[in-house]
Amino acid sequence: MGASVSVAAVLRDLTESRAMDLEIVAGAHGLDRRITNPHPQKTGLALSGFDQYLREGRVLVFGESEVRFLESLAPAERTAVMRRVFSHPLPGLVVTDDLRPLPEIAIEADAAGVPLMRTRAAAPLAMARLSAALDAHLAPRGSVHGVLMDILGLGVLIVGESGIGKSECALDLVVRGHRLVADDAVDLRCRAESFVIGSCPELTRHHMEIRGLGLINVQDLFGVASTRRSKRVELVVQLERWDPSREYDRLGLDETFYETLGVRIPMIRMPVAPGRNLAILVEVAARNQLLRQGGHNAAERLVERLDEQLSSEADLEFGEDL
């Protein structure tokens, strides 16, 4: 069974965060209904007989056009329409634009046990905020063994086999002024089906395990500015033990990706060997990734300049031969 959240939980979150005002009008005994899809549905076709377009697990939204259409119907017809709509397994109905639901809607919502809610927000804003709140609950989730850092505003996930030096590298980065998000276990969740947010389990937040030192509290040692609660993962650095027989990328032209929760994230494989300062290398990798995101790729620019030079030299030689 996929992820789901009760209407009551979403209602509580929206109220506590003050993201959207929602007033329960009817169907309060159905607040334990489960929402399984983060995208609300707004289909006027359902009111004109095409109710097969209603999707299970999605909150239904009525804006001004739907309410005005229902007002144009006779009371008996309104009752029949709403009875047909509520025969579908809907988790709830939200009426927007501060419109007062018609009595027939409230009566049928109570009879079907479907929570009927009302908000002052306009339909587009209500759907956006409702979708954002649902996305936080229903987003695909996972976890990974590694360290997540905020380096110059870029979320860098450091992964690698146990004992390779991830935590020591992260501690060095904290000393250099960067911020720890999570050590050892990183909780991941996908947002908007396009990017991944990493955070730390509540129990181990602000803590790191350093072999020889044991557990340390980074916030206590370095201050509140040395940590943060969550960060988008924009670069993965995979630490690997140096293998003399392996060919490593020396120009930075090869693109590799780390795939998690259906999202591909740029990745760098970094060999670990005595004498290499990993913290500096990871920081430079983050700086380089920030430049790439801004459209500046040093390796590609160098290759382009080299190609131009070779092309110019070839043209000169060809001209001399003539």
Average pLDDT over residues 53-75: 91
pLDDT tens figures, 108-118:
999 999 999 99
Report in angstroms the alpha-carbon separations of 132 from 82, 187, 193, 236, 262. Answer: 27, 19, 12, 26, 19
Q: Which of 13, 21, 172, 184 is catalytic?
A: 184
The residue ranges of every structural domain in the chain are: 5-137, 140-300
pLDDT of residue 43: 80
pLDDT of residue 319: 59
CATH code, 5-137: 3.40.1390.20
Q: Is residue 145 annotated as a catalytic residue, yes or no?
A: yes
Give the alpha-carbon dihedral of 11, 13, 17, 21, to 10 degrees: 0
Q: Which of 141, 145, 229, 301 is catalytic?
A: 145
Classify domain 140-300 at the CATH superfamily level. Answer: P-loop containing nucleotide triphosphate hydrolases (3.40.50.300)
Q: Is residue 166 annotated as a catalytic residue, yes or no?
A: yes
Instruction: Enter the pTM of the model.
Output: 0.71
Q: Distance (Å, rounded) from C-alpha 156 to C-alpha 149?
A: 5
Q: Which of 18, 211, 246, 250 is catalytic?
A: 250
pLDDT at 318 over 60: no
pLDDT of residue 2: 67
Q: Distance (Å, rounded) from C-alpha 8 to C-alpha 12?
A: 6
Q: Is residue 137 annotated as a catalytic residue, yes or no?
A: no
Q: Which of 78, 129, 166, 178 is catalytic?
A: 166
